[in-house]
Amino acid sequence: MTLPSENPTDKGSSLARDSVGTTLTNIGLSLIGVVTWIAIARILGPQWRGALALVMLAPMIVLRTGTFGFDQGMVVLGGSDRKVLGPLTRTGVTLGLLVGMVFIGLLLGFMYGFPVTFWKLSQIWLPYPFLVISLVFPIHLMTIAYDAAIYAEDRIAARNTKELVVNAAMLVIFLFSVFVLHKLLMAVVLAYIAANLLSLAYSAMLVRGRIDLEGGMDFSLTAQAIRLGFPIYLAQLATYIMLPAMLIVLSFSLPGEPTENLKRIAFFTMAYQMIDRILPVTRSVAFALLPKITGAGETFAGELAAKASRHTFLASLGLFVVLVIFMHPIISILLGFRYIAVVGAFAIMAPAGVAMSLVGVWSAHLLAMHRPLKIAWAGIIGVVAALVCAGIGFNVAPSGREVLVASASVVIGSFVNAGFLLPAFCREGGITVSQALVPTFSDLREWRRIPGFIIDILRRRR
């Protein structure tokens, strides 16, 4: 296969520069989320922080499962033909409203049709937070349709700005609810709903005037979008479902009194979320990689993907090692000693962060090579392995070790996922395992160029 006309050296430098730029953007966008995360944890305390994790299970599941790939297909169709964005957006918003209402009905049916099972999962009898949070289901799904239109127009900067504004608004509303209205758990729920309403309005404003939102729906285009996007949806679903699946299993397996159970759920959730918040930084190479290898020659795409994999391995391994070493003072200073149990869970789970970072790069390459089902199967097998290990571990380990068992299960599931994905990545890229994982002296020398990339990016933005 012949190489594309671009100079490979120039394209490799472009990957490095874009990776650094994406990393800087993700760090900036994450800061407001970290502040919110710390504020919620400190104000709620471990018990109610655990309750919040379970309350947020419902919108987390709806957000990940409610689109059936329509948004991914919409980006593909709309990116190639802007004329179809109007009917696709109109249809997506309407379907989002209807599907969201169906999910509300399912939640109400579960709450009142199986009250004992619902209590075992939620650990609290109070139904109000779950009832109120269900209002966000249609808001979520309608916003996804607008966001897909923004992505299809390649307006990533506009969407990033929206996310920054929305997250800042959520923090302000949360603090107002706590210190003025004297709410706790409901403060987060209300702030979350308000922020999602703002996100919906903001996204609609970004597309209004650019896309025709007047008129009817087009179900033939919708079916085509779902056919295109469903394989990608499966690939992403397998990755995102790990946390909610583990939370459900953990909640049903905890044998203690609800107050202690909620604390353990908080510790596990926060350790996992710390891993998850680091991934956008370590996966920045993957995000910069995808557009560069799409349409490139197979040989060059494989070489570029192998380089991205090695750099990601170096970055994620170094970052997680440093965090494990300093996690005790970080947690004690930022969250307080009430959350010190998060340190052990994070230390156990840290290797999963390295595996997840690499999976992000490998998945980007396989998506560019039109192999989403390979990603889906690897992810599903990984989740199943984690759940099986957790089920066995909960029955074997002494009582009180459930959080550590769940953390170790996430690691096993992540490594199983990576283990199934690595051979597919190497086959598609025409590379060896050592080329994908073992850094070279050339890779190490390229790290010295990062300060130059940062200076160049800052000059351009100025």
Q: How far is CA 376 from CA 46, 65, 162, 212, 385, in A?
A: 34, 14, 30, 34, 14
What pLDDT shows up at residue 200?
92
Query: What does the mean pLDDT of the chain come to?
Result: 81
Tell me what pLDDT residue 98 has.
Answer: 94
Lowest mean pLDDT: which of 16-20, 150-154, 301-305?
16-20
- What pLDDT was estimated at residue 265? 93
Q: Is pLDDT at 336 greater than 60 in this prediction?
A: yes
Q: Check whether 24 has a pLDDT greater than 80.
A: no
Is the pLDDT at 435 greater than 60? The verdict is yes
At residue 406 the predicted structure's pLDDT band, cuts being 50, 70 and 90, is very high
Angle at 390 between CA 400 and CA 54, to 5 degrees: 70
